[in-house]
Amino acid sequence: MEHIVIIGNGISGVTAARHIRKNSDKEITVISAETDYFFSRTALMYVYMGHMKFEHTQPYEPWFWKKNRINLKKGFVSKVHSKLNEIEFSDGEKLSYDKLIIATGSKPNKFGWPGQDLKGVLGMYHKQDLENLEKYAANNSICKRAVIVGGGLIGIELAEMLHSRKIPVTFLVREQSFWNGVLPKEESAIINKEITDNGIDLRLGVNLQEIKSDENGNVKSVIIAETGEEIKCNVVGLTAGVSPNIDFLKDSDLEIGRGVKVNRFLETNTPNIYAIGDCAEQHESIEQRRPIEAVWYTGRMMGETVAQTICGNKIAYKPGHWFNSAKFFDIEYQTYGWVWAQPKENEARFYWEHESGKKCIHINYDKNTNQFIGINTFGIRMRHDFFNRVLNKKQTIEYVLEHLADANFNPEFYKLHETEIVAKFNKEHHTNIQLKKKSWARIFST
Amino acid sequence: MKAIKHSGLIVFLIGLAVFTGTIFTGSFHLTSEELDTYLKEKNYTNELIKSELEKAIVTNENLTIFEFSSRVRNAFKTSNGHYDALISKYNAEKNWDKKGAQYQYKIYGKPHTLSFDLAKIAGTGFVKENAVLVWWLTFGLAIIGALLFILPNFKTLGKPGIKNNGIYLESSTNRGWIAWLVLVYLVSFYLVLYFMPDYAVNWTFIFDPISKFLNGGLASQWFVYGFLYCTIMLVMATRMYIKYRHNKYQLIRTTSVLFFQIVFAFLIPEIMTSLNMPGYDFKNAFPLDYDFFFDWNLDTLNSSGAIGLFILVWGIVLTLVIVPVMVYLFGKRWYCSWVCGCGGLAETLGDPYRQHSNKSLKAWKLERWLIHGVLVFSLVMTVVTLYCYFTGAQSFLGINSQWIKDSYSFLIGAWFAGVIGTGFYPIFGNRVWCRFGCPLAAYLGLVQRFKSRFRITTNGGQCISCGNCSTYCEQGIDVRAYAQKGENIVRSSCVGCGICSAVCPRGVLKLENGPEKGRINPTDILLGNDVDLMKFVNKQ
C-alpha cells in the first residue's frame, strides 16, 4: 500500500490527509513537531484571551485520527533524502514514503534586529509562542508594557490579546497607515481609529532600531529608528510578516525560492514530492494572486486539490475567486473579489461609511463596463455565495447594489443600511437603482 | 469601577447570607386551639395524631424549624405506624371489617409537606413579623448588590462587541472552586425546595404580604421560587443586555424570555388564582408540563367551568398544533430560547456557564438516548394515567398509574429538571435539562430536524475552524464540525440562541428561516476553490 507522508499538521496538511482518506485506502502519516493534534492556528489568540482553552482549538477529537487511519507522529524532520524516498528526523530516525507532501507552513520574520533573540521577544505564530506569552506577559504587573513591531493581521491580533489583559501596548507600524498595502486608505483609517480607540499607543511610519537588554538578558526597552526614542517595555512582539518554514530543506534536491517551488499541480521539481499551503511558492502567480499565499483558506484549497492528484485524479490548483476575512478588535472584515489598496487604471470605486465610523463597504468595479470586481465590508456580514455568483456571472455594480438585501448575512433584526448605501450611489452617479427585496428564490438559485 | 463591583459583590453576598440565614431563625409551636383548627380543616378524625402532635408541638419551648419538623414527622410516623400495625393485625385475623375501618385514620402525604403546613401556622419570630424589612435585607440587598456588580460591565467590558475575555481564566467560569461552591449551593437549594420545603418555611413568611396582595393567600414555597426565578432572570438579563448590547437578536430574545416568564409563568397564574380560577401557565406545553393530564389537574379543570374547558382545549392545541407549526416556521428556538421558563433561566443565570456543555460525540450519543427516553417515559406515563382516569382502573399494561406518576415526578420533575438541570449549571453548563432531559425539547427537536424551515447557514468557505461557535454552544453541538465543511447546521437539539453566530469572528453563521429545499447541504469541497473541482467532487 502506498505510504503518503505529510510534514505539517496544519490546515493544509490535515485537509490533504482527510481528502486522501476519503478517496483512497493509502497509508497516511502526518508529522508535526509542534503539537500532537491539529489545531486552528488562527484561534491561538483566543486561548490567551481566555475565550477558549487550547483543546477547544482542536477541530477533531483524538479518536478521529485512529478511526480514519491517519497516523500521527510527533517529531522534527531535519532532512529529506529524496533519492531514497526517505525523511530523517532530528533524532536520526528515518521514515520512508512513496509520496511526500510538504505542508510546514510559515515562521515569523526576523530582520536581524539587534536584540531580537532576547528573553521576552516573541512572535505570535506557534503554540510555543503562546506559552512564552503566558510566561512573559501573564498580566500587567509582570509585563508593564509591550511593544509590537509590524502592522499586519498578527500584529493587531497580538495588540488585542495584550489589551485583553490590560497590558499597555505600543504598536510600531512601518507604514503611514495600518495595513495600507492591502486596504484602501478609508478602511485603513477606520482601523487606525479602532486601534487608538482601544487605548493602544499606535505609532505610524516608524521602524525598530534595536531591542535593549537588561543585565539578565531580558528585554528592557526598544529604540525607534526615526526618532531615537527609547520605550521601556518587558515584551516585544515581532509580527513583521511570515515566510515559508523550509530551513530543513536547504540541503535537499528541492528547488527553493522563498518557498518550495511548485507547478500548478503543486508538484515540486522532485518526483513524488508536493508542497502545499504557506510554504509553497508558485513558479508563476495565478491570476492576480501572490506566488506565496499565507492564508488559511488557500492552504485548505491546496490540500483539497493535492489530495485529488495523489489519488489519481490529477488536477491543477485553480483557486476560485479571492475571498478573505479578519477581525480587527470589534470590527469584522470580509472581502470578496479584489479591492486593491490603490485602484488600477480601469477601476472605479464606490465607498460608503456609516456615521458610526465603524462600518463601511467599498466596491471596486470596472469604470468602463461597470463590472463588479470586488468588495470590502467592515461591520456588515455578506454572503460568500452571493458574491461568488456575481463574480462568476460577471455582474455589474448596479446588479450588486440592487441585490444588497440578498447579499446581507448579518444576524436577524440587525439594522440594515442598504437603502442608505444605494441612495448614496444614486446621488453620486445620478442613477436610479432600486433596491430589491430579499428573495430566497434568488439566494438559492444556482 | 472595580471598587463598585467589589462592593456590589459584598452587598450581594450579605443579602444571600441573610436569606440563607433566615432558615435558622424563628421559633415554632402551636396552641391547642390552633392545632384543633388545623385538624378540623384537614379532616383528621384520628385521636392519636391529635395527641401525638399535642405532645410534640403544643409547647412553650422555642423549637427551631429542624426540631419542629422532626417532631411533626415523628408524630405522623407514630400515628401511621400505629394504624399500619392494626391493619396487619386485623389482616392476620381476617377481620376485614375492622381492617377496613383503619384506613380512614391513615394520613397520606410527604412528611416534610405535612410539616410545612403546620410550620406555616406555627412559625413566629423576626422574619414573620418583619416580612417587608427582611425582604429588603435579603432580596433588596441581593438585587442592589448584583446590579452594582453587573452595571459597571458597561464600562469594564470595553466597547460593544464580543468580550469573552478571561472566561477560561477565572475560577467562577472555569470550573474552579467558586463554580463548585455555587453548584453546592444550588443543589442544596433545590433539595430543600423539592424535598424539605418545611426547612424553608421562613422564606415563605417573607413573601406572605406580596402573595396576599397578588392572589389573596399566603405564600407557599412555590410562590417564593416563582418570585426568586423572575428576580434572578431580571437581574441577570441586565447582564445580558450589557454583554450583548451590540447584538439586536440577543436583546430582543432576552426581552422575550423575560416577558414570558414574568407575565405568563408568574403574574397570570397568580391573578387567575386570586379570581378563583385554576392558576395556569399558558405557555407551558405538555409534555414539559408533565402533570397536565394528571387526574387532579383534569378534575380541577373539569370543575372550573368555561375557563377550565378553555385551558384543557388550549393545552391540547398548544402541544398538537401550535408547537409543531411554529417549529416548522421558525425552528424550536421560538419556544426554547424565546418563550420557555427553563430556557429563560438558562439564557440569563446560565449564560456565564454556557461554555461547559460537552461537545464530544459520546455526549451526543448519550443525549439522544436520554432525551428520547424521557419523551417515551412521559408519553407512557400519560397514556397509563389517561386510561386509568377514564376507566377507573389502577393500572394499565401492568403499570400502576400512581407509581409511574410518582416515579416521573420524582426522577424527572424534581431531580432531573431541578436539582441536576439547574444545580449543575456551573460545571456541566446551562442546558443540561434542555439537552438531555426535556421531553418537549425532544418533541420539538424531532420536528426541527425533519420538517422545518430553520437552519444555521454556513457562509461558504469563510470558516477558520477557530472553535468559538462550538465552545459557546450551550447545547453541546459541535457547530464547527459543520461550518468548517461549509455545511449548514440542522440539528434537533439547536435552540437557536444565536450565540454561535455572535461569537464567530469571521461572519460565518446566520440563523435563518428559509425554504426547506437546500437546507441540508453536504459538501466536500468548500466554496472558493476551483469551480470544476467542486462540481466534480460534490457530484460523486
Residues 6+ apart with CB under 8 A from A142: A136, A234
Q: What is the ipTM of this complex?
A: 0.96
The answer to whether the Cβ–Cβ distance between B511 and A59 falls below 8 Å is: no
Contacts of A50 in chain B (CB under 8 A): 164-170
Q: What is the mean pLDDT of residues A90-109?
A: 97
Same fold, A3-107+243-310 and A121-240: yes
Sequence letter at residue B153: N
* Res. B454: pLDDT tops 90: yes
Spell out the CATH class of A121-240: alpha beta
- pLDDT > 90: percent of chain B: 88
Name the minimum distance, in Å, from the CA of A298 to any CA of chain B: 8
Burial track B159-172 (b if 16+ CB lie within 10 A, e otherwise): eebbbbbebbbeee
Instruction: Name the residue with cell 465603524.
Output: A358
* Res. B503: pLDDT tops 80: yes
Q: Which residue of A has its CA nearest to B484?
A: A59
Contacts of B510 in chain A (CB under 8 A): 381, 409-412
Name the minimum distance, in Å, from the CA of A20 to any CA of chain B: 12
Which residues 175-204 on chain B approach chain A with CB closer than 8 angstroms?
none
The answer to whether the Cβ–Cβ distance between A320 and B459 falls below 8 Å is: no
Sequence letter at residue A337: G
Q: What is the pLDDT of residue B60?
A: 86
Bridge partners of A256, per DSSP, are: A260
The answer to whether the Cβ–Cβ distance between B528 and A301 falls below 8 Å is: yes
Contacts of B503 in chain A (CB under 8 A): 51
Contacts of A327 in chain B (CB under 8 A): 505-506
User: Which three cell numbers, joined as nine digits, stand for B366?
Assistant: 448519550
DSSP state of A252: S
State the fold for domain A3-107+243-310: FAD/NAD(P)-binding domain (3.50.50)
Q: What is the pLDDT of residue B530?
A: 87
Per-residue confidence band for A330, with pLDDT thresholds at 50, 70 and 90 = very high
Q: Quick check: A7 and A103 in contact, CB under 8 A? A: yes
Sequence letter at residue A376: N
Sequence letter at residue A255: E
Q: Quick check: B87 and B104 in contact, CB under 8 A? A: no
Grouping H, G, I as helix, E, B as strand and the rest as coil, residue B85 is: helix
Q: Quick check: B270 and B207 in contact, CB under 8 A? A: no
Contacts of B502 in chain A (CB under 8 A): 411
Q: What is the pLDDT of residue B537?
A: 81
The answer to whether the Cβ–Cβ distance between B467 and A58 falls below 8 Å is: yes
Report residue B491: phi and psi, to 5°. -130, 140
Q: Is the peptide bond before B505 cis (omega within 30 degrees of 0)?
A: no
Q: What is the mean pLDDT of residues B78-85?
A: 93
User: Which three cell numbers, joined as nine digits, stand for A135?
Assistant: 510566561
The answer to whether the Cβ–Cβ distance between A305 and B459 falls below 8 Å is: no
Q: What is the mean pLDDT of residues B314-333?
A: 97
The answer to whether the Cβ–Cβ distance between B533 and A318 falls below 8 Å is: yes
Burial track A319-347 (b if 16+ CB lie within 10 A, e otherwise): bbbbbbbbbbbbbbbbbbbbbbeeeeeeb
Query: Which of A296, A334, A383 lies at the smallest CB-CB distance from B464?
Result: A296
User: Which of A163, A409, A414, A442 best probes binding to B when mutated, by most B CB atoms within 10 angstroms?
Assistant: A409
Closest CA to B200 of B268, B115, B93: B115
Q: Quick check: A374 and A213 in contact, CB under 8 A? A: no
Burial class, A116, CB count within 10 angstroms (exposed 0-12 / middle 13-18 / buried 19+): middle
Per-residue confidence band for B368, with pLDDT thresholds at 50, 70 and 90 = very high
C-alpha A368: how far from chain center: 33
Closest CA to B446 of B301, B323, B263: B323
Q: Return the H-helix or E-strand segment holding B147.
A: helix B141-150
The answer to whether the Cβ–Cβ distance between B530 and A320 falls below 8 Å is: yes
Q: What is the pLDDT of residue B104?
A: 86
CA A170 – CA A167 distance, rounded (Å): 10
Sequence letter at residue B161: G
Query: Which of B480, B528, B532 lies at the smallest CB-CB distance from A323?
Result: B528
Q: Which residue of B has its CA nearest to A380?
A: B507
* Res. B355: pLDDT tops 70: yes
* Res. B478: pLDDT tops 90: yes
Closest CA to B429 of B473, B474, B492: B474
pLDDT digits over B27-46, tens only?
999 999 999 999 999 888 88
Q: Is the pTM of this model over 0.90?
A: yes
Closest CA to A240 of A165, A147, A328: A147
Closest CA to B240 of B225, B224, B263, B256: B256
* Res. B536: pLDDT tops 90: no
CA B17 – CA B198 distance, rounded (Å): 19
Bridge partners of A31, per DSSP, are: A7, A73
Per-residue confidence band for B75, with pLDDT thresholds at 50, 70 and 90 = very high
| Half-sphere exposure for B282 (CA within 13 Å, toward CB) | 18
Q: Does B309 touch chain A (CB under 8 A)?
A: no
Bridge partners of A221, per DSSP, are: A212, A232
Q: Which residue of A has its CA nearest to B540?
A: A23
CA A104 – CA A87 distance, rounded (Å): 14
Grouping H, G, I as helix, E, B as strand and the rest as coil, residue B124 is: strand
pLDDT digits over A284-303, tens only?
999 999 999 999 999 999 99
* Res. B460: pLDDT tops 80: yes
Per-residue confidence band for B540, with pLDDT thresholds at 50, 70 and 90 = low
pLDDT digits over A182-228, tens only?
999 999 999 999 999 999 999 999 999 999 999 999 999 999 999 99
pLDDT digits over A157-172, tens only?
999 999 999 999 999 9
Residues 6+ apart with CB under 8 A from B515: A440, A444, B453
Per-residue confidence band for A446, with pLDDT thresholds at 50, 70 and 90 = low
Residues 6+ apart with CB under 8 A from B45: B104, B105
Average pLDDT, chain B: 95
Q: Quick check: A39 and A57 in contact, CB under 8 A? A: yes
Closest CA to A35 of A173, A156, A131, A170: A131
Q: Does B255 touch chain A (CB under 8 A)?
A: no
Domain limits, chain B: 27-124, 451-539
Q: Does B246 touch chain A (CB under 8 A)?
A: yes
State the fold for domain B451-539: Alpha-Beta Plaits (3.30.70)
C-alpha B431: how far from chain center: 11
User: Which of B156, B457, B459 best probes binding to A when mutated, by most A CB atoms within 10 angstroms?
Assistant: B459
* Count of CB pairs separated by less than 8 Å, A with B: 177
CA A410 – CA A415 distance, rounded (Å): 9
Closest CA to B471 of A311, A334, A58: A58
Residues 6+ apart with CB under 8 A from A77: A7, A31, A33, A87, A88, A89, A90, A248
Helix pair B221-243, B248-259: axis angle to 10 deg: 170
CA A166 – CA B478 distance, rounded (Å): 31
For B44, other C-beta atoms within 10 Å of its C-beta total 17
Bridge partners of A231, per DSSP, are: A222
Q: What is the pLDDT of residue B524?
A: 83
Contacts of A309 in chain B (CB under 8 A): none
Q: Does B133 touch chain A (CB under 8 A)?
A: no
First CA to last CA distance, chain B: 60
β-sheet with A230-232: strand ranges across:
A208-213, A219-224, A230-232
The answer to whether the Cβ–Cβ distance between B531 and A43 falls below 8 Å is: no
User: Which three cell numbers, joined as nine digits, stand for B339?
Assistant: 418563550
Contacts of B158 in chain A (CB under 8 A): 198
The answer to whether the Cβ–Cβ distance between A414 and B248 falls below 8 Å is: yes
Closest CA to A283 of A266, A313, A254, A261: A261
User: Which of B1, B2, B159, B165 best probes binding to A when mutated, by most A CB atoms within 10 angstroms?
Assistant: B165
The answer to whether the Cβ–Cβ distance between B526 and A332 falls below 8 Å is: no
Closest CA to B76 of B124, B120, B42, B121: B42
Q: Does domain A323-444 have CATH number 3.40.50.2300?
A: no
